[in-house]
Structure 1
Amino acid sequence: MAARSSALVCATAVALALAGCSAGDDGKPAEPADDASVSVSLSGTPSPSAPAAPSSAAPSAAPSGPTASASPGASDPAGATPPPSGTGQGRKLVTMTVTGGFAGVNREVIVRGDGTVRTADRGASGVRRATSAQFTRLRTLLADPALDDVPAFSLDGGAADRFRYTLQFDGRTVTTDRTGDEPALERLIDALEKWLPGT
């Protein structure tokens, strides 16, 4: 029994030394210096070490997967809008319809931004392309500032057998029988008439 008590005292002393304890000034054992836990077995066989407490200084792992929030980068700026899908080359630049006369004609020419010219005459239609010179000339005529002053209607009520020209361009519609004095409009009509069937 004395040998067992002596072994117990030795084991306790070793454990206290490992735990960093020492006797205080008042003769009582001092508190442990840190949070480490030590266990002592009476049988003299060492017990498995207690698992180490997780360190509060360890860096936490960054979130990953679908829950991770990604900040917008240069390839995906916030508020970016997709680029325009079309160039506008297929839109109509000008449409001219010619009706009336003794024979009651009904002809049409449509010029698009890509240089395509579509013509129609009493149901028969055709498509061709304007030459570079024709297209440049037409764009120049459409850009003439004098067209802004052309009235929407310029008709002579006493001439029922005249051709009536209806033009649509630049968001407006102009109708004339060519009896007025509008040189800019006359030049545009002359250029468009060259594409009409039978001229």
Structure 2
Amino acid sequence: MLGRGAVAAAVVVFTAGLLGLLGCSFEGGGAAEPPTAASTGGVTTSAASPLPNSTTGSASPSAPGSPSPVPVTGPDQKLVSMTVTGGFAGVHQLVILRGDGTVYASEKGQPAVRHTSAAQFTELRTLLGDPALADVPDFTMDMGAADMLQYTLQFNGRTVMTDRSGDEPALDRLIDALSPWLSKK
């Protein structure tokens, strides 16, 4: 049986390879609408509304001082990617936020490109700028649990893997804010 370190390393290598393949082939030129009630499981968005499914309605800081939005260096910059795998049904979803405000989402190879509103883009970047994310461990999984979803996030030069079994409010807010952008069938 593989140990935790070997499993974590295998998942990171697999995820990095998958993201590299997807990142190299995606040019971000598609025009698509932001998530709708049908694509977000009943959550609707508009250009003036905050991010869908936000737990507090704002990016409240978890540490002293207010987080500021992470800077954007170019339209093709990958600000954050999140891969969701596992569960009883064998979920495999991916969402990538790019520097031009586009969101690439894929479920089992079916891609979709959507655009954030200015407010949504700022809120996502602010969540990424939360100083509390620096304190989140790279690996928090309950290895004894079965059929839990596993989240692999890449942001700020880090890879973080979690099944959300730990208490990490800053990470949970980021996952909650990205989840409505995942492809829904």
1:161 aligns with 2:147: yes
After TM superposition, the structure 1 = structure 2 runs for residues 42-61 of structure 1, keeping only pairs within 5 Å, are none
Question: 1:190 is paired with a residue of what secondary structure?
Answer: helix
Partner of 2:108 in structure 1?
Answer: 122
Partner of 2:184 in structure 1?
Answer: 198
CA distance in 2, matches of 1:143, 1:128: 22
CA-based RMSD of the aligned residues comes to 1.1
In the superposition, the TM-score normalised over structure 1's length comes to 0.55
Identity of aligned residues (%): 65
Partner of 1:148 in structure 2?
Answer: 134
Partner of 2:80 in structure 1?
Answer: 94
CA distance in 2, matches of 1:197, 1:119: 6
Question: How many residues end up aligned between the 2 structures?
Answer: 113
After TM superposition, the structure 1 = structure 2 runs for residues 1-199 of structure 1, keeping only pairs within 5 Å, are 88-198=74-184
In the superposition, the TM-score normalised over structure 2's length comes to 0.60
CA distance in 2, matches of 1:178, 1:128: 26
Bigger relative contact order, structure 1 or 2, given CA contacts below 8 A and separation 6+?
Answer: 2
Supply the AA of the counterpart residue of 1:94.
V
- Which aligned runs of 4 or more in structure 1 are off by greater than 6 angstroms? none
Supply the AA of the counterpart residue of 2:120.
Q
Question: 2:181 is paired with a residue of what secondary structure?
Answer: coil
Residue segments in structure 2 that go unaligned for 5+ positions in a row: 1-72
